[in-house]
Amino acid sequence: MNSPYDTKPRPLFRPLPNAQKAYCVGFEFEQWRCNAYADHMIEWIIDYALKADEIKTLTHANSYIKLKQAAARIYKSEHYKTRGEIGEISIHAICREYFQTIPFAPRVFYLTSSNEVVKSFDMVHVRYVGDHDVELWLGEAKFFKDRSLAIARALTSVSTHIEQGFLKNEKLLLGPQVSTDIPHFDKIRDVLSEEVSLDVLFQKAVFPIFIASDSPSTAKHKSHTAQYEADVAEELASLSDAIARSALHTKIKIVLIYVPIRSKDQLAEAFDKRLKGLNP
């Protein structure tokens, strides 16, 4: 069965060899690649925001319309500096590229009519294991200035999300939204059915935690060097230590993903300009 997710943008995020779980967009002319990051987010918005059946009909003849539809579904708020869409698109892109996941329900359909985000997972993907098994990747993304605050908030959110009552409601919300245009959709729906124990969901689930935050290492370096990697590795270690102290990793499978950025505000502004250009 062909999937509408067989095609994806060329990768921009690159894993750091000496800081596994950290991904960087790199430098250009001694500057962190803020504009390239913002452009890459726009490249991914169709994959992120549209449903599988809508992506199936994407052609060169309607690509601009599809891009505008995706942009319109993300946000129109003037308060872009407090919004988390950049984090959500980033975790979507990295998991699609490096962990071979695909979405089974678009994140933007969790928005209420007033465009306020329902408290839910920031990413709902599936990863195929072999020919017949599935993993549900239920992600949490934080796009913050402060790295320590970001991981603290992420751990609090995930802890809330794995409570019994929340997961029961989540299954009721997600089950009917599973796309029939992806392989083994029936197995995903079965895991999310009300009749199946939450124990089965925990056995099938992976919880990626994505942190993008202002990085002293990225701010002080002008190129991708061994010292830059070593400095980022220290920042990554502080996030890993926070997860270890929480003991959350003893209850669920966690995958940590870290993107060190030079300036949250700068990136938010660059992305916002591009998004508003698609919403004249």
Cβ contacts of 150 within 8 Å, gap of 6 or more: 142, 143, 144, 211, 212, 213
- pLDDT at site 105: 81
- pLDDT at site 119: 59
Among residues 21, 17, 13, 14, which one has the least CA distance to residue 240? Answer: 21
- pLDDT at site 182: 87
- pLDDT at site 175: 86
- pLDDT at site 81: 52
Q: What is the pTM of this model?
A: 0.92
- Per-residue b or e along 160-173, where b marks 16 or more CB atoms closer than 10 Å to that residue's CB: ebbeeeebeebbeb
- pLDDT at site 254: 96
- pLDDT at site 225: 94
- pLDDT at site 48: 93
User: Kind and range of the H or E element at 261?
Assistant: strand 254-261
- pLDDT at site 76: 57
User: Kind and range of the H or E element at 70?
Assistant: helix 63-74
- pLDDT at site 237: 95
- pLDDT at site 1: 58
- pLDDT at site 113: 42
- pLDDT at site 112: 42
**CA distances for 96 relative to 66, 100, 141, 279, angstroms:** 20, 5, 15, 26
Among residues 115, 266, 125, 110, which one has the least CA distance to residue 182? Answer: 125
pLDDT < 50 positions in the chain? 79, 110-117
User: Kind and range of the H or E element at 4?
Assistant: none
**CA distances for 247 relative to 43, 198, 207, 242, 244, angstroms:** 37, 20, 14, 9, 5
